[in-house]
Structure 1
């Protein structure tokens, strides 16, 4: 037997079966950087009577703009990307190496489910690899790319991951969309069951993307911000003394983000889910930070969804030792029966627990409102903020209005005059909070970046 020819034959089969997915990987990683793991993985699927060259998954390591990553890519061309025990073993080996080498992981997902011929054996394989992925949460950054249809237990990779990218053809569902649609009494196309727009209540859609180049750019930008892989402070040419006079006239959340973060340094994560809360990773004066910017029309009321989004982001900041900044425009918990009968209080409790995990700088900027519970969680010194600022035109109060105070306190006519005096606008400005030492400084909005840079330089760990 000519072993060289046998090797060449086997390799050609593997390459033929995985030509499309290897092209996708090449678009994601640096040129000629991908090194495959377990490339000669063959097994027989007795149910279908087929050989599974590559086991329906390609794994290996590479670099993205010079940063090492491990890659596990499901190959839809081999048995519809069907998950098998050997498939899981390949991914598990990849994840074990990622943990050992403290290297980020990128999953490229495209699978219609499990290979049914393996029975319970494949479930054991799934348990091993999903458990490993869950244990890596907070240990190394994990990214998923929903390249096409992803059904069944493979969808759990997106829940374990830190960031999920959906290409336009991406569809994600824990069950077949046909089954979900039928059991819901509807006849929906798969995109309306598991497409990115359909999953706006899941917090699983971190980004939508047109192509792999866009994904590559964002993965690089995120890794580049993390202290585990780059310096928490970099010289990026940012003007550390630049003021933005526009903020004194108008301070929308978008204007604030552009003014505070260094140009081209930041990304917003999950803008389709609870868009009234912007979760931003970026640099301020060259310093990596995680920031929550509230963006409600008249202040952001808290509910189970936006608090869950904040909790996820706060956990990520804690895991990777990022300074945290809250830009507050927050009210109390939304006053309606749906929110009252929800997990909102559990989520708020979880927030306070997660806040304690933050070991780096914790800064609050009240740029519009901090009222009631919104002040307690996102501006109060006693919550544990190291430094608190308020814009001169901000509002800090127990209640948002006199009418709110009347309703809350069930005031009668004899006390309304006193309430009107107590909760008048001039008594809700940040000066009153500053008098008691709860606000460190009251500033003109145009100078917010300079103050933040000074605070970060002092507090950074």
Structure 2
């Protein structure tokens, strides 16, 4: 005879005699703590854990693990509050037929707070995901550590962090923020590959507004401190932000369709309806010949990739560089591109960090890289230098130099100075480098170069401006003409912009079987 506490909906002393009893227990677990708790969740504009899983996974594919788990904690009234699942739903299912592991906090139970049993369930599903070689998606909606359980709850977070770190670069890890995430709990999402947030309902911060006010005197709202827009635009913590949970989870499904199951597999390919040899003549109108005129690099990417579809990562943070996942001839590629529409496309601290992390993700998961250059250099200024542009720029350089996936670069208009070297030049390991006619690859712009080289001649001339103009023209003719780099083997070919899609697709097809290794080592020591 087995007895169950009344708090889980089974009368004490009730004998478990047949499958009907088990069915009743499972139904109780599915219902959760009750209708009022569900109504309160919906009133906040939030779905329940199981509703979210239903939107994420293919219909009917979810298999739950440890549905009947209960906590063992005593004291502070916990023994009278024992709910099946212990506030987290764990299991696996499929997204477009491919296995995905998931855990979802149930805010209706202890506010989704993590206790010992709760943590053990998450540890188990994380271990299963790594063993099976399948992505892990966490649906986060919890109030942090369960204070009543003390240090055991904190130790539970430690186990999650350790597993996040060990799974990094092994399986894709995606965190979906659907409610509050405070304190140490915020570090697990920060360790994963992608973070999604929903406006108004999700927040992330180490210390909340009350603590901030008490310590610094600053008054700020929860969303103002750690809402989706703050992390999408200012901090860069969030990769994607959406207005509602349904759209957010649909985009998670789309992202998963572009990622491999693990680091031993290639991303999923699809049959392409968009002809690989399609001419991209529209690029001639999209990109002005004058190097100083801005344009939207997103439209260039649309013209090149399959059906004009791509998923931009960190779209609203460090907008002077574009990082995106797309398909070219049905194959997934990672695109890193200057954005002349913002800060003229210069590299700065934020852009360097954004691109470096994206490149490392692509390299970890066997996603080829295509780099589109139109970069005038690094952003000058005291703020950038004192902020560590040297070490942050080195992160981008390190990421490119360390990448072993197929790597192709294309200079659209200009590539000057250290920014040219850092952004996938042939000298740091690009497999193939192309350029459009009219490209300028040089140490710096002609005007700046002439002012440095011919400073004395210009100063002593009777007509300095006329002399400067003549010397600038001479410098361009000798060192910046479109074929200068190609003549020296630094560019493999100068191509017609209308052939861009076809050239890139053919090059990627050739490089698909590329094999490259790194020196034997425990790990590198990247710049921080």
TM-score, structure 2 normalization: 0.81
State the 1:67 CA deviation: 1.6
Aligned-residue offset at 1:12: 4.0
Secondary structure at 2:169 match in 1: coil
1:388-447 CA-to-partner distances (Å, cap 9, x unmatched) read 11111332221124136536x693335875852454378523211111111111122222
Hey, what does 1:110 align to over in structure 2? 141
Distance 1:124 1:227, change over 3 A: closer
**Aligned position for 1:215:** 248
Q: Which residue of 2 aligns with 1:33?
A: 61
Q: Which residue does the alignment assign to 2:366?
A: 321
Give the C-alpha shift of residue 232 in structure 1: 5.5
Question: Is the contact made by 2:297 and 2:340 (CA closer than 8 Å) also made in structure 1?
Answer: no
- Match of 1:360, SS state, is coil
**Pair 1:384-2:397 in alignment:** no
Label 1:6 to 1:316 Cα distance change in 2 as closer, same or farther (>3 A). Answer: same
- Counterpart in the other structure of 1:268: 312
Q: Name the structure 1 match of 2:418.
A: 373
1:14: which partner in 2? 29
Other-structure match for 1:341 = 386
Mapped partners of 1:393, 1:82: distance in 2? 59
**What residue ranges of structure 2 are gaps of 5+ in the alignment?**
1-13, 39-47, 288-295, 460-466, 514-528
Give a deviation string over 1:177-200, Cα, whole Å, max 9, x none.
332354343222111111111122
- How far is 1:296 from its partner? 2.6
Q: CA deviation at 1:100?
A: 0.2
Provide the residue aligned with 1:198 in structure 2: 230
In the alignment, structure 1 residue 459 sits paired with structure 2 residue 511: yes
Residue by residue, what CA displacement relative to the aligned partner does 1:293-348 show, whole Å, maximum 9, x if unpaired? 11034642222211111111011111011111110111322111111112322233
Q: Larger Rg: 1 or 2?
A: 2
Match of 1:440 among 467, 492, 495: 492
Q: Shift of residue 133 of structure 1?
A: 1.3
SS in 1 for 2:114: coil
Q: For the structure 1 residues 224 and 15, does the alpha-carbon distance in structure 2 shift closer, same or farther, using more than 3 Å as the test?
A: closer
Distance in structure 2 (CA, Å) of the matches to 1:79 and 1:60: 20
Flag the structure with higher strand content. Answer: 1
User: In structure 2, what is the Cα distance between the partners aligned to 1:56 and 1:149?
Assistant: 15
Structure 1 residue 126 and structure 2 residue 176: aligned?
no
Q: Which residue of structure 2 aligns with residue 249 of structure 1?
A: 285
Report deviation, 1:379.
Answer: 4.5
Q: Deviations over 1:6-46 (max 9, x none)?
A: 54554344223266211121122111111111111112452
CA distance in 2, matches of 1:148, 1:396: 48
What is the Cα deviation at residue 457 of structure 1?
1.4
Q: What is the 5 A alignment of 1:108-187?
A: 108-168=139-199, 169-187=201-219
- The equivalent of 1:97 in structure 2 is 128
Partner of 2:464: none
| 1:303-318 pair list within 5 angstroms | 303-318=348-363
Q: Which residue of 1 aligns with 2:330?
A: 286
Aligned length: 460
Contact 2:267 2:367 in 1 (8 A): no
Secondary structure of 2:376's aligned partner: strand
Listed as ranges, the gaps of 5+ residues in structure 1 are none
Q: Is the alpha carbon distance of 1:385 and 1:2 closer, same or farther for their aligned partners in structure 2, counting shifts above 3 Å?
A: same
How far apart are the structure 2 equivalents of 1:231 and 1:188? 43
Look up the SS of the partner of 1:413 in the other structure: helix
Aligned residue in 1 for 2:445: 400
CA contact under 8 A between 1:151 and 1:175: conserved in structure 2? yes
List aligned pairs for 1:79-90, cutoff 5 A: 79-90=110-121
- Retained in 2: the 8 A contact 1:56–1:87? yes
Instruction: State yes or no: 1:58 paired with 2:79.
Output: no
Whether the aligned pair in 1 keeps the contact of 2:267 and 2:365 (CA below 8 Å) is: no
Q: Note if contact 1:290-1:317 (Cα within 8 Å) is conserved in structure 2.
A: yes
Contact 2:266 2:366 in 1 (8 A): no
Q: Name which of 43, 46, 60 aligns with 2:75.
A: 46
Could you tell which deviates more after superposition, 134-143 or 290-299? 290-299
More displaced 10-residue stretch of structure 1: 182-191 or 443-452: 182-191
* Cα distance in 2 between the residues matched to 1:454 and 1:222: 25
Q: Distance in 1 between matches of 2:305 and 2:507?
A: 15
How far the C-alpha of 1:86 sits from its partner, in A, is 1.4
Judge conservation of contact 1:181–1:193 (CA < 8 Å) in 2.
no
Contact 2:58-2:95 at 8 Å conserved across structures: yes
- Contact in 2 for aligned 1:89/1:129 (Cα 8 Å): no
Offset from partner CA, 1:218-257 (integer Å, 9 cap, x none): 3333333335566654322221111122211222312211
Give me the whole-angstrom Cα distance separating, in 1, the residues matched to 2:396 and 2:109.
43
Query: Are 2:239 and 1:239 equivalent residues in the alignment?
Result: no
How much does 1:353 deviate? 2.7
Instruction: Say whether the 8 Å CA contact 1:57–1:73 is kept in structure 2.
Output: yes
CA RMSD between the two structures: 2.3
* Contact 1:327-1:366 at 8 Å conserved across structures: yes
Quick one: distance in 2 between partners of 1:241 and 1:76? 51
